[in-house]
Amino acid sequence: MASLVEEAGERVGITVGGELTGVVLPAAELAELEYWAQRGYGAPLPVPDASRESIPGPEQQGPYTRYVHGDGLRMTFTRDRVVVAEVRSAGDLAWLEERARQGRQGYMDPQQSAAFAEFLASQPPSTVPEDQSQEPGPHPEEMAVRQVTDAWQRIETWLRAHAPASYACLKPGASQGEIAALEEALDARVPADLKALWSLHAGVRGRQGAGFLLDNYALMDLDGVVSVYQMKMDSQRHEETLNAIRRAEGRGEDEFTIWKPSWVPVFSFGPTDLIYGIYLDTETGALHRWSNSYEAQDDERRETLITYLEEVADFLETPGLAVGARPGLAGGALVWGPPNHSDPDRLWVEYTG
């Protein structure tokens, strides 16, 4: 099992009577889990009690040496005096993963933290009526910022732990100056929750694994947002000319809307794709699909940015909740599938938790 784990870089389960009792996992993965678990636990990780039975000495298994720990359950495999794999019980691993999730949850790297701090500092303070007698609750925009930030950090935590190729696609956060320049280019107000998302990551790089959001959509970068918006508005101005002709001919019912100034593109089917995507209606807060072949302002999608990101995070943390496309991994990237066309060099494996 140690050789399989070392070659594939993935976990191998140990079952007894059809029940998962233990897991052999790469040493690097365990080291990362223990680091984040200790941050989440807030103290040194507890050590299992020593077994009363005699612990066997080191055992040579081909090129590997197996060491059994004092509790009689944990094991370490080394090759050429380098740790390559570890064995943990299913219960211990579940505990570690939960603490590691908590530890990763509130973490931002220094650059990301600085960009987000700049964003928060730029937000106007919420006002409270003078005659309000009780402590005010959070302002709605403040709540939206918190919810988007929390949902995105859950997604990013999962990517960091399970899909390094997708995690590596994330661009740094945008500065307030960059977001302000985008608003000026669009001549549209961008809501606080979308600004918060862009302050965390201003899109993704165009490489394998970038389309990691539900239905394999990608977070558009700011240049892509401006490009699609301006292209759509140019099409709408042309359409307005045709609409005027239709009205003059008494065919007002044939008027057609391609784009509105309040629609801001956010996700696309690939980081450089300009054909399909999802836009945010900043007047209603609802997400809708767009494409070059039809404008789906009347489609069934009525999610908000918050509910969309929370749904992605929920499906990743609890895959059994996923309806339709399911999360999976291919070549270290998050891919929602099963895919229509399998790549023999990057086999898709469903993620089940």
Tokens representing 80?
A: 């050429």
The pLDDT assigned to 315 comes to 92
DSSP 77-145: EEETTEEEEEEEEHHHHHHHHHHHHHHHHT---HHHHHHHHHHHHHSPPPP--TT--S-----HHHHHH
The pLDDT assigned to 32 comes to 84
Amino acid (1-letter code) at residue 187: D
Return the closest-CA partner of residue 216 out of 263, 166, 279, 154.
166
281 beta partners: 263
Between 90 and 130, residue with greater pLDDT: 90
Round to whole Å and give the CA distance between 161 and 327: 14
On the question of pLDDT at 133 being above 50, the answer is no
User: Residue 240: in which H helix or E strand, if any?
Assistant: helix 222-248
Q: What is the layout of strands, in order, in the sheet containing 12-16?
A: 12-16, 19-26, 82-89, 75-79, 64-68, 59-61
Amino acid (1-letter code) at residue 7: E
**pLDDT per residue as tens digits for the range 276-317:** 899 999 999 999 988 876 554 445 555 899 999 999 999 999
Tokens representing 122?
A: 């730029």
The pLDDT assigned to 293 comes to 61
* Strand 287-291, strand 276-281: pairing: antiparallel
- What is the value of pTM for the model shown? 0.63
The pLDDT assigned to 312 comes to 93
* Strand 59-61, strand 64-68: pairing: antiparallel
Q: What is the mean pLDDT of the chain?
A: 82
Round to whole Å and give the CA distance between 127 and 241: 44
**pLDDT per residue as tens digits for the range 218-269:** 999 999 999 999 988 888 888 888 878 888 888 877 778 888 999 999 999 8
Identity of the highest mean pLDDT range in 283-287, 337-341, 342-346: 283-287
Round to whole Å and give the CA distance between 153 and 147: 10
Contact 33, 24 (CB under 8 A): no
The pLDDT assigned to 222 comes to 94
The pLDDT assigned to 104 comes to 67
Round to whole Å and give the CA distance between 315 and 320: 7
On the question of pLDDT at 57 being above 80, the answer is yes
Cis check: omega of the bond before 164, within 30 degrees of 0: no
**pLDDT per residue as tens digits for the range 164-214:** 899 999 999 998 899 999 999 988 889 999 999 999 999 998 878 889 998
